[in-house]
Structure 1
Amino acid sequence: MPDIHVSAAVIVDRDGRALVVRKRGTTRFMQPGGKPEIGESPAQTLIRELAEELSLRVDETALRPLGTFVSAAANEPDHRVVADAFALRAEPHEVVVQAEIDELRWLSPGDWTSVPLAPLSTEHLLPLAWS
Structure 2
Amino acid sequence: MTAGSSILVVTAAALIDRDGAVLMQQRPVGKALAGLWEFPGGKVEPGETPEAALVRELAEELDIAVDPAALRPIAFATHPADGRNLLLLLYMIRAWRGEPRAIEATALRWAAPAVLRTLPMPPADAPLIGAIERVI
Summarize the Cα distance change of 1:105–1:44 in structure 2 as closer, same or farther, 3 Å threshold. Answer: same
Contact 1:12 1:129 (C-alpha < 8 Å) held by counterparts: no
**TM-score scaled to structure 1, two decimals?**
0.82
Q: CA deviation at 1:114?
A: 3.7
Of 62, 78, 84 in structure 1, the residue corresponding to residue 70 of structure 2 is 62
Larger radius of gyration: 2
Which sections of structure 1, spanning at least 5 residues, go unmatched?
A: none
Q: Hey, what's the Cα distance between the residues in 2 that align with 1:27 and 1:113? A: 16
Summarize the Cα distance change of 1:72–1:123 in structure 2 as closer, same or farther, 3 Å threshold. Answer: farther
Partner of 1:129: 132
- 1:95 pairs with 2:95: no
Moved more, 102-111 or 41-50: 102-111
Q: Quick one: higher RCO (CA 8 Å, sep 6+), 1 or 2?
A: 1
Number of aligned positions between the proteins: 125
1:1-60 deviations in whole A, cap 9, x for unaligned?
Answer: 654320111111111111111121212111000012221100000000000000110010
**Counterpart residue identity of residue 63, structure 1:** L
Q: CA deviation at 1:84?
A: 1.9
Of 10, 13, 17 in structure 2, the residue corresponding to residue 13 of structure 1 is 17
Q: Work out the percentage of aligned pairs sharing the same amino acid.
A: 33
Q: CA deviation at 1:72?
A: 4.6
**Counterpart residue identity of residue 130, structure 1:** E
Which sections of structure 2, spanning at least 5 residues, go unmatched?
A: none
Contact 1:11 1:88 (C-alpha < 8 Å) held by counterparts: yes
- Computed over aligned residues only, the root mean square deviation of the Cα atoms, in angstroms, reads 2.1
1:102-121 deviations in whole A, cap 9, x for unaligned?
Answer: 11111113322443112222
**TM-score scaled to structure 2, two decimals?**
0.79
Q: Hey, what's the Cα distance between the residues in 2 that align with 1:111 and 1:24? A: 21
Give the SS at the match of 1:39: coil
**Counterpart residue identity of residue 99, structure 2:** E
